[in-house]
Structure 1
């Protein structure tokens, strides 16, 4: 058997790669398991942002149209 030299850096790399792999696996499992909840939460938040920003956009478009009409 051939044994390589174990350094602190290789131990740290293995530790970090193990945690990244475990975290990635947990993300995939939770996305599959809770996909309906994630989709619902995302859509509800998206509609909340649209409802919050729509009056601001309408006001800004109105102000722009009024300024253009005055400057013509």
Structure 2
């Protein structure tokens, strides 16, 4: 007979793995069930995301350009 040692770490690891598997399964089922809603929301908000991210991208490139020009 082969007995397996059960430790607190193994129990926590199994618990977390179970929750991760359940979460991934819920995401997959939700994406399949609400596919049309997700596509519509993504299409409607794409330009809003671009408008929100563009100033940040411009600032990062500007700061990088200023730093490079200071050390030349």
Same fold flag (TM > 0.5): yes
Q: What is the Cα-based RMSD across aligned positions, in Å?
A: 2.0
Aligned-partner SS, 2:6: coil
TM-score between the two structures when normalised by the length of structure 2: 0.64
Matched, 1:28 2:13: no
Q: Which runs of 5+ in 2 are unaligned?
A: 56-72
Q: Which runs of 5+ in 1 are unaligned?
A: 57-72
**Equivalent residues in 2 for 1:1-72 (5 A)?**
1-49=1-49, 52=51
Whole-Å separation in 1 of the counterparts to 2:49 and 2:16 = 37
Aligned-partner SS, 1:18: helix
Query: Is the radius of gyration larger for structure 1 or structure 2?
Result: 1
Runs of 4+ with >6 A deviation? none
Aligned residue pairs total: 53
Whole-Å separation in 2 of the counterparts to 1:49 and 1:28 = 24
